[in-house]
Amino acid sequence: MRQALSPDDVKRIARLARIETSDAEAQATQAQLNTIFDLIATMQAVDTRGIAPMAHAQEVYQRLRDDAVTETDRHAAFQAIAPAVENGLYLVPKVIE
């Protein structure tokens, strides 16, 4: 049987996913995630030895395109919708002291 997730586990995963989570939220989320993982656990009983994993519905290969410029400069249009920009740069809090 699978080990149930604790609120600390939830906080650790939320940290990996960069989602701020309070203790109260972790508590509530833990119960729901455990119900979902109980459902997911039903697949553990299946013997899949020798089965190749299927990542994709179609056998596709990565196409290569010509090494040519195809896009126009849309810098201004893309920056117009950003939360904070200055001199053509995206502004974020300082990361280097």
Judged by the rule CB under 8 A, the positions of this chain that interact with other proteins are 5, 10, 13-14, 16-21, 29, 32-33, 35-37, 39-44, 46, 48, 51-58, 60, 62-63, 65, 74, 77-78, 80-84, 90, 92-95
Q: How far is the CB of 86 from other proteins (least distance, A)?
A: 13
Q: How far apart are the first and last CA of the chain?
A: 48
Cβ closest to other proteins, residue 8 vs residue 36: 36
Whether residue 57 contacts residue 33, with contact meaning beta carbons closer than 8 Å, is answered with no
Q: How far is the CB of 16 from other proteins (least distance, A)?
A: 5
How far apart (Å, rounded) are the C-alpha atoms in residues 5 and 15? 15
CB atoms within 10 A of CB 9: 15
Q: How far is the CB of 19 from other proteins (least distance, A)?
A: 5
Whether residue 26 contacts residue 11, with contact meaning beta carbons closer than 8 Å, is answered with yes
Structure tokens at 18: 């960069």
Cβ closest to other proteins, residue 27 vs residue 33: 33
